[in-house]
Amino acid sequence: MPPQPRSLWRSTFGLVALVSLGFALSALVIGFVVYEVAHEALEEQLDHRIAAETRALLAEHGRGGVDELARTIHQREAASSGDSLAYRLLDRAGQTLAGSLDAPVPVEPGYLEHLVDNHGERVSQALTTALADGSRLVVAADRAALNETDETILAITAIAFAAMLLIGIAGAWTVGSVTRARLRKIDAAAQAIIDGDLSRRMPLDGSGSEFDRVSATLNRMLERIAALLDNLRQVSSDVAHDLRTPLTRLNNRLDEALSTTDEADRQLAIEAALADSRELLDLFAALLRISEVEALAVRRHFSEVALDALLDELVDAYLPDIEASGHRLQSEIEAGVVVSGDRRLLRQLVANLLDNALRHTPVGTTIRVRLKAIGDHATITIGDDGPGVAANELPRLFQRFARSERSRHTEGSGLGLALVAAIATAHRGRVSAASNGGFSVTAELPCIVNVALRV
Check residues 371 and 180 and name the one with the higher pLDDT.
371
Domain assignment present for residue 344? The answer is yes
Model confidence band, residue 4 (pLDDT cutoffs 50, 70, 90): very low
Question: What is the predicted pLDDT for the residue at 254?
Answer: 84
Domains: count for the chain = 4
pLDDT at 263 over 70: yes
In angstroms, the Cα distances linking 69 to 75, 93, 299 are: 10, 17, 99
Query: What distance in Å separates the CA atoms of residue 338 and residue 427, rounded to the nearest whole number?
Result: 13
The arithmetic mean of pLDDT across residues 256-272, rounded, is 83
The reply to whether 7 falls in a domain is: no
Residue 444's pLDDT is 94
Residues 377 and 428 in one domain: yes
Q: What angle do CA 300, 283, 442 make, to 5 degrees?
A: 60
Percent of the chain past pLDDT 70, that is, above it, reads: 88
Q: Is the pLDDT of residue 255 over 90?
A: no
pLDDT in tens, 142-176: 888 888 888 898 888 888 888 888 888 888 788 87
Query: Which of 203-217, 321-335, 399-413 has the weakest average pLDDT?
Result: 399-413
Query: b/e map of 314-351 (b: 16 or more CB within 10 Å)?
Result: bbeebeeebeeeebebeeebbebbbbebbbebbbbbbb
Same domain for 355 and 272: no
Q: Looking at the structure, do residues 97 and 60 belong to the same domain, yes or no?
A: yes
Q: Is 110 helix (H, G, I), strand (E, B) or coil?
A: strand
Measured at the CA of 285, the angle between CA 280 and CA 286, to 5 degrees, comes to 100
**370 in Cβ contact with 357 (< 8 Å):** no
CATH number where 82 lies: 3.30.450
Among 257, 255, 251, 252, residue whose Cα is nearest residue 270: 257
Is residue 161 a part of any domain in this protein?
A: no
Which band of pLDDT confidence, cut at 50, 70 and 90, is reported for residue 445?
very high
Q: Return mean pLDDT, the chain.
A: 82
Please answer whether residues 127 and 51 qualify as being in contact, where contact means their C-beta atoms are separated by less than 8 angstroms: yes
What is the predicted pLDDT for the residue at 2?
A: 46
Using alpha carbons only, how large is the chain's radius of gyration in Å? 48
One domain, residues 345 and 211: no
Percentage helix, strand, coil, to 5, in the chain? 60, 15, 25
Q: Per the domain annotation, does 348 fall within a domain?
A: yes
Residue 114 lies in a domain: yes
Residue 193 located in a structural domain: no
**DSSP characters over 332-364:** EE-TTEEEEE-HHHHHHHHHHHHHHHHHHS-TT
- Report the range out of 117-121, 220-224, 411-415 with the highest average pLDDT: 220-224
The pLDDT score that the predictor gives to residue 1 is: 42
- Report if pTM > 0.75: no
Pair 287, 305 in one domain: no
Residue 455 has pLDDT above 50, yes or no: no
Q: Give residue 262's domain range.
A: 243-294
Same domain for 26 and 136: yes
pLDDT of 260 above 70: yes
Q: Quick one: 232 and 247 in the same domain? A: no
In a shared domain, residues 231 and 250: no
Q: What percent of the chain has pLDDT over 90?
A: 18
CATH code of the domain in which 351 resides: 3.30.565.10
CB 310 within 8 A of CB 348: no
Tell me, yes or no, whether 288 and 433 share the same domain: no
Buried b (16+ CB within 10 A) or exposed e, 97-126: bbbebebebeeeeeebeebebeeeebbbbb
Question: Does residue 186 lie within any of the structural domains?
Answer: no
Do 323 and 376 fall into the same domain? yes
Q: What local confidence, expressed as pLDDT, does residue 174 receive?
A: 83
pLDDT of residue 5 exceeding 50, the answer is no
Domain membership of residue 349 (yes or no) is yes
Q: What is the mean pLDDT of residues 409-437?
A: 82
With 0-12 CB in 10 A as exposed, 13-18 as middle and 19+ as buried, what is 302?
Answer: middle
The pLDDT of residue 410 is above 60: no
Summarised one tens digit per residue, pLDDT across range 13-46 is: 777 777 878 888 888 888 889 888 988 888 888 8
- 304 with 288, same domain: the answer is no
Please determine, for residue 238, whether its predicted confidence score (pLDDT) is greater than 70. no
Q: Examine the domain organization and report whether 228 and 87 are in the same domain.
A: no
Task: Please give, one letter per residue, the 3-state secondary structure of 268-307.
Answer: HHHHHHHHHHHHHHHHHHHHHHHHHHHCCHHHHHCEEEEH
